[in-house]
Amino acid sequence: MEKINVGIIGVGRIGRLHAKSITYNIPDAVIKSVSDIKLDGVNEWAESLGIKNVYDDYHKIIEDKEIDAVLVCSSTDTHAQISIEAIEAGKHVFCEKPIDYDLDRISKVLTAVKKSGVKFQVGFNRRFDHNFNRINQITKDGVIGEPHIIKITSRDPEPPPIEYVKVSGGLFFDMTIHDFDMARFQAGSEASEVFAVGASLVDKKIGEAGDVDTAVVTIKFQNGAIAVIDNSRKAVYGYDQRVEVFGSKGSIEAKNDTETNTILRTEQAVSKDKPLYFFLERYMKSFINEMKEFFEAIKNDTETPVKGIDGLNAVIIAMAAKKSLEEGRPIKISEIV
């Protein structure tokens, strides 16, 4: 079988990460071309990975008949437009999350996918994390029975720059969006109602920018399960990423990953490693795994593991959470869509 020719649009941090994953871990795929609006240092980097073409115009990738699959890793505001162009050109598309913040534009992407029949996958990488994936497998296998309560702890080690907070769409759109997808993933059901409580406890400037930095979001699912997410922009001890699913026959819980499994005992304390601090380190395996599954879906003509509807529904929950916070009441999903 021939290799799948890949083009990557946008080679910032995440685009380069995927490029490396594909080069070193996906023998079935080869990166033919990359593009970016800024090309500083891109040529050297591309050469080091054996990538032939570097463009400053992504249309060259979309117009290339030999390209089979496109990774959309550009800025969020361009995701929908580029995805649609690539889909219409018959390319399989992996689109970084979120597809967009506008429900209409997301819908257009989904419509394009449906019409064309290409593979489309959204970059909710945490579904492919070894810990969270194990939880999902155990749950699906019925080991813990029907899910009743889903608990997600998701705390960043440090708040982003205040300038980022002002344009990101806020905590629910730039950070909790992953947790909303995780809740759906583990619940195996769709949300029906969302209630969000939040405050600006970490940094007053975040509050002044109209956002919260600490939040607890409760989600009711159609199958009866209740999810609760707690977020903080700042956990001084590191990147705290835990999930627990409690069901009728038991529970399955994922602890944080650490660099080592050592225990130090001194006169002062018995101590273990802090959680891995950086998201790239913490979720590296998941980034590789989502690429693997994307290309397997193409190769075997099977469904992608995270589809457009998943991209859409996480945004809908984020919208409900934001509205709930603003209005101080639970919001039914039916009020959003």
Q: Binding residues for a copy of itself, per CB under 8 A?
A: 24, 27, 48, 130-131, 134-135, 138, 143-144, 146, 148-149, 151, 153, 155, 193, 195, 197-199, 201-202, 214-216, 218, 220, 224, 226, 228, 230, 232, 234-238, 240, 246, 248-257, 259-267, 269-275, 328-330
Crossing angle between the packed helical segments 284-300 and 130-140, to the nearest 10 degrees? 60
How crowded is residue 319: how many other Cβ atoms within 10 Å of its Cβ? 21
* CB of 185 closer than 8 Å to CB of 144: no
* Residue appearing with tokens 């959680």: 275
Closest approach of a copy of itself to the CB of residue 26, in Å: 12
Q: Under DSSP, is residue 120 helix (H, G, I), strand (E, B) or coil?
A: strand
- Give min distance, CB of 141 to a copy of itself, in A: 11
Minimum gap (Å) between residue 31 Cβ and a copy of itself: 15
Task: Pick between residue 9 and residue 215 the one whose CB is nearest to a copy of itself.
Answer: 215
Q: What six digits make up the tokens of 241? A: 């990423």
* Distance of closest approach, residue 192 Cβ to a copy of itself, in angstroms: 11
CB of 92 to a copy of itself, least distance (A): 24
How far lies 284's CA from each of 107, 264, 273, 290, in Å? Answer: 30, 27, 18, 10
Beta strands in 79-199 (DSSP E): 92-95, 120-122, 147-155, 191-199
- Reading the block at residue 301, the tokens are 């003509």
- Return the closest-CA partner of residue 306 out of 130, 184, 220, 190: 184
Our CB check for a copy of itself shows the closer of 2 and 301 to be 2
Least separation in angstroms between residue 45's CB and a copy of itself is 11
- Neighbouring C-beta atoms of residue 299, cutoff 10 Å: 15
Nearer to a copy of itself, 39 or 138 (CB): 138
CB of 42 to a copy of itself, least distance (A): 17
Closer CB to a copy of itself, 43 or 48, in the complex: 48
User: Which residue lies nearer to a copy of itself by CB, 257 or 293?
Assistant: 257
Residue pair 184/219 in contact (Cβ under 8 Å)? The answer is no
Token pair 């240092």: residue: 41
| Cβ-based nearer residue to a copy of itself, 61 or 254 | 254
Q: Which two tokens stand for residue 294?
A: 């994307």
Nearer to a copy of itself by C-beta: 60 or 205?
A: 205
Alpha carbons within 13 angstroms on the beta-carbon side of residue 62 total 17
Q: Within 10 Å of residue 192's Cβ, how many Cβ atoms?
A: 15
The 8 Å CB, 24+ separation contacts for 305-309 are 305/121, 305/127, 305/128, 306/121, 306/122, 306/123, 306/124, 306/127, 306/181, 307/120, 307/121, 307/122, 308/99, 308/106, 308/109, 308/110, 308/113, 308/120, 308/122, 309/110
Shortest distance, position 16 Cβ to a copy of itself, whole Å: 14
State the minimum distance, in angstroms, from the CB of residue 284 to a copy of itself.
Answer: 12
Which is closer to a copy of itself, CB of 103 or CB of 336? 336
Cβ proximity to a copy of itself, 226 vs 309, nearer residue? 226
